[in-house]
C-alpha cells in the first residue's frame, strides 16, 4: 500500500512531512528516535514539525512508542493498531552491539497478576542482547 493510501486509512491528510516520515519508518525494520528521524528527513522540516507528525501518528494509532534502556523514546509502525484499538503489547529487543531496537510482534507480553487495587494501563518489555544480524 502506498503512503497516501495508508495515511487516508488512518484519516490523515497527506503532507510532505507526513509522507516522508512514514516512508522512513516503513523502510526501517527497527524503531527510530526523534533525532534519527530528524536527521534523515528533508532539512526543510523543522524539529517541531517532525515532533507534531510523530504525535499525530501516535494519536491515530499508526505508530507506537518504544522506550529503550536509556529512556530514549523511539517510534515504530504499528502492525495491528487503530485509533480505537492501540494494541502494541509485544516484546521489544535492543541489540547491545548495533544499538537498534526492534519490535518482536509475534511475541506477546505475558499476563501479569497485579495486587488488588493496581490497574495496568500499558505494558513494556525490553529484552537486551545481540540481534540476529550482529550474531553472525
Model confidence pLDDT, tens digit, residues 28-80: 989 999 999 999 998 889 999 999 999 999 988 899 888 878 878 899 998 76
Return the exposure string of 103-115: e unless at least 16 CB atoms fall within 10 Å of the residue's CB, then b. beeeeeeeeeeee
Pairwise CA distance, residues 55 & 12, whole Å: 12
Domains of the chain (ranges, CATH numbers): 3-129 (1.10.10.10)
Model pTM?
0.80
Amino acid at each position: 500500500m502506498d503512503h497516501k493510501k495508508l495515511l487516508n486509512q488512518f484519516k490523515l491528510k497527506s503532507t510532505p512531512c507526513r509522507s516522508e516520515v512514514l516512508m522512513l519508518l516503513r523502510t526501517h525494520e527497527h524503531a527510530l528516535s526523534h533525532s534519527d528521524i530528524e536527521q534523515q528527513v528533508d532539512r526543510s522540516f523543522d524539529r517541531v514539525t517532525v515532533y507534531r507528525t510523530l504525535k499525530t501518528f501516535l494519536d491515530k494509532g499508526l505508530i507506537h512508542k518504544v522506550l529503550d534502556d536509556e529512556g530514549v523514546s523511539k517510534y515504530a509502525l504499528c502492525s495491528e493498531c487503530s485509533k480505537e484499538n492501540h494494541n502494541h503489547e509485544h516484546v521489544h529487543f535492543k541489540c547491545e552491539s548495533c544499538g537498534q531496537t526492534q519490535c518482536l510482534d509475534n511475541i506477546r507480553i505475558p499476563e501479569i497478576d497485579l495486587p488488588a487495587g493496581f490497574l495496568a494501563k500499558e505494558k513494556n518489555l525490553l529484552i537486551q542482547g545481540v540481534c540476529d544480524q550482529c550474531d553472525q
